[in-house]
Amino acid sequence: MTDQSSNQMWGGRFAAGPDAIMEAINASIGFDQRMAAQDIAGSRAHAAMLAATGVITDSDARAIREGLLTVLSEIQNGEFQFSTALEDIHMNVEARLKEVIGEPAGRLHTGRSRNDQVATDFKLWVRDQLDAAETGLLALIRALLAQAEAGADWVMPGFTHLQTAQPVTWGHHMMAYVEMFGRDLSRVRDARARMNESPLGAAALAGTSFPIDRQMTAEALGFDRPAANSLDAVSDRDFALEFLSTASICAVHLSRFAEELVIWSSAQFRFVTLSDRFSTGSSIMPQKKNPDAAELIRAKVGRIYGANTALMMVMKGLPLAYSKDMQEDKEQVFDAADNWMLALAAMEGMVKDMTANRDSLAVAAGSGFSTATDLADWLVRVLGLPFRDAHHVTGSLVAKAEGKDCDLPDLTLDDMKSVHADITKDVYSVLGVENSVNSRQSYGGTAPDQVRAQIERWKALV
């Protein structure tokens, strides 16, 4: 494709083309070329509609549509020469189309503006990313369900403040993340449904006097309907903001899980073993196996959330309708999308490959007085103590166990009675971690039966 020293789209308005600095700040082709497929899809739909409404001839529309496929093939095969003088993907494609088919290319832009064109391209690109995110989330959720099903009755410590709190099951912990990523999946689907309105045909900001059929182009591009207000259609970037917001929340969930995997895979915990595929070694310490994939996922939230904040700042002061500021909407979204998809794929891989160390989990589940709450509940249920009194008695028994350097189940009955005389040997029935988790039968609780019920519910959904 021939590079041009000045952008001919300005026509007779300017006597000279932009100088190098203006060209550099004005051009977006360095990044918006990623939307080439979407741009060409939108242009082909627009050309077909122009012919159907009699605005251009069928022969011109056919030449345009076939020529655009030639341009797309050149781009996909790496044969296309992008020009910064032509600013963006739209003008690069149109200029090359003119070289390929000649005069009919000049009729393609009838009844539209770059304003509705870029909004359409960007929506199509973001929609594709939401579809990819849905696929990634479904794969991750299924990997978590497999882990949960395998360890539905494996005991492990549940934590608050990263201190041992109560025993739970491995399956219950995995299902907590299923719920988190399930909400992310819901947000992805909601965002896709909300943004699926076509800006094409809104033109610069006021619509067009040509007898176009916006419903036709909307349907051709897979949109549910045309956007109902031309001003809003070209100036709306809510879809990009919602994409980044959804990505940011999901990245937080990925980061929280990554943090747990970093902790759990350490020599001090040994709760899980990560596969070699998602670990690295040390350049100097041969014994090291570092959870680098998890650590990098943990860091991705900064880039994704940063993109969200950056685009919020771009949009916050813009009057209707289009302003050139909005050219700064894409790089953040592109970067966030790349990192979100990579983090989802890496987390799914780690979850599928990781091995939960059942023995280590069980040993940890029984430490740290994890059944203290079960003891307090027994005092309430069997002896009829008010819970606050039972809490005090249990605290005294924990102190006694600490003094004897043992856990609650290791206290003798005489030890127990020295704190409260009515305690009987039946108390030991609630002090085992297996008994503890099996007793948590409330809906959503950690009892294996409850965990399995939630697994089946989710398997039916995904």
Q: Which residues are marked as active site?
A: 161, 282
CB atoms within 10 A of CB 223: 23
65 vs 108: CA distance, rounded Å: 10
Sign of CA dihedral 304, 306, 308, 310: negative
Beta carbons within 8 Å of 388's beta carbon, 6+ residues apart: none
Choose among 207, 204, 53: nearest CA to 45. 53
Q: Are 301 and 315 in contact (CB under 8 A)?
A: no
Radius of gyration of the chain (CA): 31
Choose among 402, 411, 451: nearest CA to 431. 411
294 vs 255: CA distance, rounded Å: 8
- Secondary structure of residue 354 in the 3-state scheme: coil
Q: How far is CA 174 from the centre of its chain?
A: 18
Q: Are 156 and 168 in contact (CB under 8 A)?
A: yes
b (16+ CB within 10 A) / e for 294-322: beebbebbebbbebbebbeebbeeeeebb
Please name the helix (run of DSSP H) or strand (run of DSSP E) that holds residue 156, with its range, or none: strand 155-160
* DSSP output for 86-154: G-SHHHHHHHHHHHHH-GGGGGTTTT--HHHHHHHHHHHHHHHHHHHHHHHHHHHHHHHHHHHHHTTT-
